[in-house]
Structure 1
């Protein structure tokens, strides 16, 4: 039973870390921009998925603020909507202060369906329509076409460094366990064994004494 509990905890922690990385690390979509607009948005309970109210130009209240949006479609005509907010120095660390310029770039990249101009939108976050959650666009650049291949170098570098850090911590823990914890556990086990042996010997002596005392007439 305890084994299942331990694996359940490990898998839960792994899922949390994976979700955190998937939300935070940059992703790139090849899309065609169809429109841009500003909208007074009720943030409310979803404030965790929006920029802090003191980041850049986002100075309105937490529950209601004016947010820039970018509308786009994928090559398969599936729609996509991005928000365009400054992140400032707050997490995630994109240090974005140019949401106005990015909105101008997005507006300049609007194209019609019969004459598409494809762009790669770098963003972080998720699009969850049921909760009115939008990924935050960070960068826009023109690409040759919808089939362009984009290599996620940033993600590769970050995940490689993270894997190296985890491996280093794992080795440090293994060495600490081997040098400190296991000898301490062995010493404790030996001490307990010695105590048990002394207790058994004392019981045997006591039995022998009382046996001699009451066994004779």
Structure 2
């Protein structure tokens, strides 16, 4: 019987504003999904360029999980990676905007296995309003035509993870009392007060129970 590997070491971090901004720019330079999301957001707001938006704020997390053995490939996987997955790196980078009463967050969440190079990438938009910050959150992605479509997924998985027994009380208290000023301010407060559960849960939500990363970050089914 194949033994299930465990995490032997992990590094979890909340990025500085400058680090998050730099990582956003690095990712945006080669990510067509981010470009499509930006165009759709500008259309939604009725503006022609980024210069018409207020100065953005940034938030970011990163986590690396090293395993004590390779991840076993399930029999049902039709095209297994050529190399074994020995560690998992995950990140969440957020650029938030305030436009009138609207609170908007462009988000890029990634989880990658190494050295296999298997990757999960999610580009999505979180929207809400200042007056109903946590009760009126919508999540959107872009379709093949570049239009925004509503989905239920990453945000709901993150909330479910944060309310779990491992994170529970501390995170619930932070979620209720952190200031809903902007997405970046709110998430930074939540991460600061909720320990590193936000980093772990962001990784879990991005993994979406995929076989090669769930061993390290848990199973949060979107």
Which structure shows the higher helix fraction?
Answer: 1
With structure 2 as the length reference, what TM-score do the two structures score? Answer: 0.20
Which structure shows the higher strand fraction?
Answer: 2
